[in-house]
Amino acid sequence: HPGSRKAGIEKLGEGEYKVHVLAPPEKGEANREVVEALADYFGLPASRIRIVRGEKSRIKLVALEPGG
């Protein structure tokens, strides 16, 4: 949820998470913060996380690419 008062990640179910970010949904700022939050959460570099669908939506499909 962009523009939240508190940042964080909440696990909703298997492979489903709610990500709260502080950034507003402007100029991709919230999307960048979502990627960075997921990178920290899963211990991956941000370059291995990609928004597949929903760049302009609150609901997103995100791909995590495992490292080699």
Could you give the CA distance from residue 48 to residue 29 in angstroms, rounded to a whole number? 18
Residue 55 has pLDDT above 70, yes or no: yes
User: Is residue 16 very low, low, confident or very high in pLDDT (cuts 50, 70, 90)?
Assistant: very high
pLDDT above 70 covers a percentage of the chain that reads: 99
Cα–Cα distance between 68 and 37 in angstroms, integer?
Answer: 21
**Model-level pTM?**
0.89
